[in-house]
Amino acid sequence: MSYGSFPPEPGRRRGTLAIVLVALIPTCFVGWLLWSSLGGTKDDGAGGAGGTGGPTTSSTSSPPPPSSGASAPPTPPASSGEPGAPGKPLEGKVVVIDPGHNPHNRDHPSRIARLVDIGTEKKECDTTGTATNSGYPEASFTLDVARRARTLLEARGATVRFTQDGDRPYGPCVDERAEIGNKAHADAVVSVHADGAAAGERGFHVILPKSVRGGGADTSAITAPSRRLGERLRGDFAKATGSGPAQYIGDGSGLDVRGDLGGLNLSTVPKVFIECGNMRDSQDAAELTDTAWRERAARGIAQGITDFLNE
């Protein structure tokens, strides 16, 4: 209700309304043009920024396939899985680690004493191995180093097999140890040992197969690659452990060639032995019984194998 004025007359009211309508029509038309030019016909409810105004789709729907003239986005290359792939330099390679002797051999003296054919002669199935003066067995040493080397090699992509993992009552015999590597078609085999030389004799050495042929033995095809494996092993083991080549074997080069070991004579794949040190020498024994040193020894062995397989 208005105070202080009277309602307009009927004729005057219609005239005023007409004037207002005439004034509003152009204004509305200009507003419509401005709204249209700013994209007001687009559907802004579902498309988000840059929406196309098409039908609303669920956020979980797959994008439409590219038109016939468009190319699909490139697919990221899959891992090659081939040797030398980043982080897996030994992918596709088979390595056999032969932990010398067996912790349970001592419980089966008659079985490990039986003779087996090594091609050129007959020798014992196996032996108990040596030990430090304090009683730390070679068989325990070889298993520990072998297991550490396996972890390193598997991390690099290799398939690693053991001749024994302390899970056999004894052995295997030396001829079976060779056969395990052969049947695996191993790219490299390393037999891990520690020596039992006289006190005062120190250092490590790598044993290479001699070229022999006789009976079931024929190493003619593996002597050259086995030497390359042994040379790699010698260099990397010395670098990892700080040990020097044994001066009491051969010419002190750290390499020794032998034709009387069944594990080498019967092998048809590259294979070497490594004598990691002399368990009967107090200074070498101090290293061989040290956990940190055994880890370094495993690194040296794993690196030697890796370098050989990546030649």
Read out DSSP for 154-192? HHTT-EEEES--S-SSS---HHHHHHHHHHTT-SEEEEE
The pLDDT of residue 215 is: 86
The pLDDT of residue 85 is: 54
The whole-angstrom separation of Cα 223 and Cα 229 is 10
Check the CA dihedral 100-104-107-108 and report its sign.
Answer: negative
Total residues found in the chain within this entry: 311
Catalytic residues: 275
Would you call 276 helix, strand, or coil by DSSP?
Answer: strand
The pLDDT of residue 23 is: 47
Range 94-309 classified under CATH 3.40.630.40: yes
The pLDDT of residue 281 is: 98
The pLDDT of residue 142 is: 98
The whole-angstrom separation of Cα 189 and Cα 118 is 17
Domain ranges of the chain: 94-309
The pLDDT of residue 86 is: 67
* Cα dihedral value 36, 42, 44, 48, nearest 10: -120
The pLDDT of residue 79 is: 33
The whole-angstrom separation of Cα 97 and Cα 164 is 9
- Closest by alpha carbon to 266, among 178, 190, 172? 178
pLDDT in tens, 179-219: 999 999 999 999 999 999 999 999 999 999 999 998 889 99
With both helix axes pointing from N to C terminus, report the angle between 291-309 and 138-155 in degrees, rounded to the nearest 10. Answer: 50
Spans of the chain, pLDDT less than 70: 1-86
Residue 165, both tokens? 């993992």
The pLDDT of residue 59 is: 35
pLDDT in tens, 16-40: 434 334 444 444 444 444 444 444 4
* Cα dihedral value 293, 230, 93, 266, nearest 10: -110
The answer to whether the beta carbons of residues 195 and 203 sit under 8 Å apart is: no
